[in-house]
Amino acid sequence: MFDFLAKKFGDLFELFSKETTFTDENTAKILDEIKAALIDSDVPYDVVVDFTRQVKQDLLGKKVLKNVRPDEQLLKIVYERLVKFMSQGGQDCFSFEIPSVVMVMGLQGAGKTTTIAKLVHFVKTQAEKKRKNRSILVASVDFYRPAAVEQLEIVAQQAAAVFYRAQEQNPVAAAMEIYQKFKKDRYDLLFLDTAGRLHFDEQMMQELQQINQKLLPRYKILVLDAMTGQQSLSIAQTFDQKVGFYASILTKMDSNASAGAALAFRYVLKKPIWFIGTGEKLPDLQEFVPDRIAQRMLNMGDMQTLIEKIDDKIHAAEQEKMNKALLSDAMSLEDFGLQIDMMNKVGSLSSLMKYIPGIANKLSAEQIDAGEREVKRFRAIISSMTPKERKDVTVLNDSRKQRIAVGSGTTVQDVLILLQRFEQVKQYAKLLKKSGPFGGLFR
């Protein structure tokens, strides 16, 4: 997600790091590079022109600050401008009033049905954190796509929502039947999956308009496929003109989708982007926060989102246990193995690297893949040890190392590398202990 743009900007800042001041010549080169990066990322040309014009205004007459490198100052300028562009129309603060009808729209293939299940999961998870429960009804009036209703029923069950199958076969009449069910049983939320087409047609829009007029949904969400690039903007504009919508969700952001949809959508339409879809699983839905998105576009990482992911996946008691083990003088290989298990809960090494400043585009796919294989070997080696060996590495003589290597399907050299990495982690933990808290990662 945003890898292409992050790489482009990373190359630009690295190139500019050799400069000592802003000049007419290097400023013009900077703007050309930014323009090329944004165009290659599928940002519409008129939006690119506006963005580079505003960056140019920020750079004009800019003096290089003492003790601040020009590339760092440039990074700050581009970052602030990106945040402003993606904050048009206010912050993307997600919330649903209770009770509410939520009408979900989009073209066929955008991922409406899967997104509804993710929204249900998100709402329920957030409510559970506050010790609340949300009663959610989901239903579909998509009678055109084969098995669309059945697909929603399956994902609704996975998300622990109540599914209702309308008896009416006319989309507008079915929507009214579903609405009566919602009102009668007093659900907190109704997510209504509407029909999509491969392209716009008049019948599709008339149905959406009639459903909108009959139900008067408090929220209309447009689901957009980020892989459609610049076309996603024209799709959004058409929906806005014909039916109107409140906020959007960008799907398939885990693919090679460029950043153009997010940047152009906010700047042109000035409507909220509530979420971005980052995978097929229920938890693969991230809130769209402009400053965090800008950080990732510029390869600055996103530590706040990483911390939130850790909080969601690892209980506070486990985090506290991990923190104590890391900062204690008695850290063992058993603790090290548990730390590996906990991080695996959060995500793969490749997914986690993208949240850490400066790393995402510094490591090649081969290096990350090698790192993931090494972590798996480490876990296998630790699992092949006896409890005594995991507690006290000093008992590991040559014969024990040989037995562990055979038992884990690795080599003695792999065992030695694990012990070396373990010692490095302990030394690093000692430095952290001297310098202060563990940065808030494991609290």
Count Cβ atoms below 10 Å from residue 88 Cβ, excluding itself. 15
List Cα–Cα distances, 440 to 193, 274, 329, 424, in angstroms: 40, 26, 20, 21
List Cα–Cα distances, 299 to 40, 143, 303, in angstroms: 17, 43, 12
Secondary structure (DSSP) of 98-143: SSEEEEEE--TTS-HHHHHHHHHHHHHHHHHHTT----EEEEE---
For the ranges 211-225, 233-247, 264-278, 327-341, the maximum mean pLDDT occurs at 211-225
- Tell me the pLDDT band of 438, cut-offs 50, 70 and 90: very low
Q: How far apart are CA 47 and CA 28, in angstroms?
A: 18
Identify the H or E element spanning 276: strand 273-277
Tokens for 171, please give them: 């989309």
Residue in this structure with the two tokens 């799907």, named with its chain if needed: 251
Tokens for 35, please give them: 């323009």
Residue in this structure with the two tokens 């490591």, named with its chain if needed: 363
Of 434 and 20, the one with more pLDDT: 20
Secondary structure (DSSP) of 191-241: EEEPP--SS--HHHHHHHHHHHHHH--SEEEEEEEGGGTTHHHHHHHHHHH
In degrees rounded to 5, what are phi and psi of residue 441?
-70, -45
Q: What is the pLDDT of residues 263-315, one digit of tens each?
A: 788 888 888 889 989 888 898 898 888 888 888 788 776 666 666 666 676 67
Average pLDDT, the chain: 83
**Lowest pLDDT segment from 180-184, 206-210, 314-318, 385-389:** 314-318
Q: How far apart are CA 190 and CA 224, in angstroms?
A: 20
Q: What is the pLDDT of residues 387-397, one digit of tens each?
A: 999 999 999 99
Report yes or no: 189 and 100 within 8 Å, Cβ to Cβ. Answer: yes
Secondary structure (DSSP) of 296-348: HHTT---HHHHHHHHHHHS-HHHHHHHHHHHHSTT--HHHHHHHHHHHHHH--
**Nearest Cα to 104, choosing from 198, 220, 197, 195?**
220
CB contact burial 429-439 (16+ within 10 A = b; e otherwise): beeeeeeeebe
Tokens for 423, please give them: 């010692």
Provide the residue type at 423 as one letter: E
Asked if the bond preceding 99 is cis, omega within 30° of 0, the reply is yes
Secondary structure (DSSP) of 166-180: -S--SHHHHHHHHHH
What's the pLDDT score for residue 439?
45
Residue 354 has pLDDT above 90, yes or no: no
Helical packing angle, 45-59 and 260-269, nearest 10°: 80
Task: Write the CB contacts of 108 (distance below 8 Å, at least 6 apart in sequence).
Answer: 145, 196, 197, 198
- Tell me the pLDDT band of 345, cut-offs 50, 70 and 90: confident
Report yes or no: 245 and 105 within 8 Å, Cβ to Cβ. Answer: yes
Q: How far apart are CA 98 and CA 436, in angstroms?
A: 43
* 53 CB burial (10 A radius; 0-12, 13-18, 19+): exposed
Q: What is the mean pLDDT of residues 93-120?
A: 91
Report yes or no: 384 and 401 within 8 Å, Cβ to Cβ. Answer: no
